[in-house]
């Protein structure tokens, strides 16, 4: 019904073509752009373990292999929002400013999509969102962390989230492709998975668009 490996290549290619990724890899990213991006990362990472675990609960009886994968992955995602929070602190963003910050429109819509799929829709669709994030982290996370550190003179600080995911997500992407190919086999499940890949990819490009247009974060009042 679909080729997970080709889907991964197409997803990574879509991100590689975005100007913000070019700026990162070319050492031209600005501090406000990175602050905007990692602020969005912080916001969506706060929800990841919850939506992944909830989807697992809903799939226990109908898709036990998928549920087992989700439970394991939810545990791995615990605390990753703290990585992004730490990165923002290293970038000089006060904790009060982080607490008062809001996600970009695209990030907010992505969070809403995750919650709908996990709590109300076909929970198999959440694998489409996970797949997009694992492609970005696994294929580009490490290179992006190095490019950002170099461009902003961070000396390895402030890129904990990206570097950590770059190391882990290459393995996650392979595992995810395997389990999707083996267990997302019903036509309705495959359709919602593919639709979510397309939607998540478009929304994540919106997150990158927001970073590209970013201005310095305003301090909390």
Tell whether 195 is covered by a domain.
Answer: yes
Residues 70, 190: contact at Cβ < 8 Å? no
Structural domains of the chain, count: 1
Q: Could you tell me the two tokens for 117?
A: 């799929």
pLDDT for the residue numbered 221: 43
pLDDT of residue 162: 87
Tokens matching residue 197: 């890949």
Residue 103: inside a domain: yes
Range of the domain at 29: 4-212
Cα separation values, 142 from 9, 114, 126, 159, 214, Å = 17, 25, 24, 9, 23
CATH number of residue 97's parent domain: 1.20.910.10
Is 196 part of any domain? yes
Which residue is associated with the tokens 């709908």?
Answer: 116
Does a structural domain hold residue 117? yes
Q: How confident is the model at residue 169, as a pLDDT?
A: 47
Copy the structure tokens of residue 166: 């770059």
Sequential DSSP letters for 112-169:
HHHHHHHHTS-GGGHHHHHHHHHHHIIIIIHHHHHHHHHHHT-TTTT-HHHHHHHHHH
Distances (CA, A) of 202 to 3, 15, 196: 20, 10, 10
Q: Is residue 145 part of a domain?
A: yes
In a domain, 97, yes or no: yes
pTM value? 0.92
For the chain, the straight-line distance linking the first and the last C-alpha, in angstroms and rounded, comes to 53
Say what the pLDDT of residue 184 is. Answer: 95
Q: Determine the Cα–Cα distance for residues 196 and 50; give it in Å rounded to an integer.
A: 18
Is 218 part of a structural domain of the chain? no
Please list the pLDDT of the chain residue by residue as tens digits (221 residues): 678 888 888 988 988 899 998 888 888 889 999 999 999 999 999 999 999 999 999 999 999 999 999 999 999 888 899 999 999 999 999 999 999 999 999 999 999 999 999 999 999 999 999 999 988 877 777 888 888 888 899 887 899 898 876 555 456 678 888 999 999 999 999 999 999 999 999 999 999 999 999 875 555 44
Residues in contact with 134: Cβ distance below 8 Å, sequence separation at least 6, in sequence order: 169, 172, 173, 176
217 belongs to a structural domain: no
């Amino acid at each position: 019904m679909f080729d997970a490996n080709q889907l991964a290549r197409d997803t990574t290619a879509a991100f590689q073509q975005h100007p913000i990724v070019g700026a990162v890899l070319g050492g031209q990213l600005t501090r406000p752009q990175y602050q905007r991006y990692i602020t969005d990362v912080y916001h969506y990472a706060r929800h990841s373990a919850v939506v992944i675990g909830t989807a697992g609960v809903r799939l226990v009886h109908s898709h036990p292999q998928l549920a087992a994968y989700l439970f394991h992955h939810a545990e791995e995602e615990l605390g990753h929002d703290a990585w992004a929070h730490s990165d923002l602190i290293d970038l000089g963003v006060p904790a009060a400013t982080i607490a008062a910050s809001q996600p970009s429109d695209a990030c907010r819509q992505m969070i809403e999509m995750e919650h709908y799929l996990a709590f109300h829709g076909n929970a198999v669709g959440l694998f489409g969102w996970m797949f997009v994030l694992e492609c970005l982290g696994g294929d580009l996370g490490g290179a992006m962390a190095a490019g950002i550190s170099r461009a902003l003179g961070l000396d390895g600080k402030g890129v904990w989230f990206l570097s950590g995911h770059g190391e882990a997500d290459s393995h996650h992407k392979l595992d995810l492709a395997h389990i999707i190919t083996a267990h997302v086999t019903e036509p309705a499940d495959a359709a919602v998975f593919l639709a979510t890949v397309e939607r998540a990819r478009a929304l994540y490009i919106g997150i990158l668009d927001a970073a590209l247009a970013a201005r310095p974060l305003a301090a909390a009042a």
